[in-house]
Amino acid sequence: MLVRRIARPLLAAPFIYGGISTLRKPQDRVPGATPVVEKLAETADKQLPVQVPRDVEQWVKADAAIKVAAGSLFALNKFPRVTALVLSASIVPTTLAGHRFWEHDDPTEQFGQISNFLKNTGILGGLLLAAVDTEGRPSVGYRARRAAKRAADVTEKNYEKASKRAIKAQKKASRKTGKKTGKGALKVLS
């Protein structure tokens, strides 16, 4: 659909531009990312058996590279649902690190931070919609349920055919040997 061909690159553009900008000058993002990285590292150290790196600049560069790669793939319509999820996951820490409006006392600065925070949450909403967009095709769950129902129907039909053949074969075998088949024997097979 034409709308998707236009919307995906538009939605990916801030990630690609911001990621390239951050890769060129990661030091600008380190002060804002420091509290978030420290909090994540502290939480991860308590819950994981390995120690998480605490180099904030390394985390900033990794996040920027993910944004450029996922944003480019999303804009090119390659793995759009997966890349939308990856971009969704990357925008949350970025928003929490870069737009901490609750820490500002100046009303002008606070308004700018709230505005950017809400812009990012709006982009997050668009990415979540893109992540569940099946482009008009049935979802994987629907297709799996449909395939299971078809398999059950085919199995049931094959079982009925096999039962009829077994009864027919038993009748034929009993005629050949000259024995009469009793009603009890037929009930067991059906």
Tens of pLDDT, residue by residue over 102-114, are 888 888 988 998 9
Average pLDDT score over residue span 15-40: 91
Scan for tokens 């600065």, then name that residue.
109
- Are 108 and 151 members of one domain? no
Q: What is the DSSP letter of 27?
A: G
Burial of 19 (0-12, 13-18, 19+ CB in 10 A): buried
Q: Who's near 100: CB < 8 A, 6+ residues apart?
A: 32, 35, 113
The reply to whether 86 and 11 lie within a common domain is: yes
Number of Cβ within 10 Å of residue 179's Cβ equals: 9
**Count of other CB atoms within 10 angstroms of residue 133:** 16
Domain containing 14 equals 1-137
Q: Are residues 11 and 58 in the same domain?
A: yes
Verify that 173 and 110 share a domain, yes or no. no
Return the pLDDT at 11.
95
Percent with pLDDT over 90 in the chain: 49
Residue type for position 66 = I
35 and 117 assigned to the same domain: yes
pLDDT, position 135:
79
pLDDT tens, position by position, 35-87: 888 888 888 888 888 888 889 999 999 999 999 999 999 999 999 999 999 99
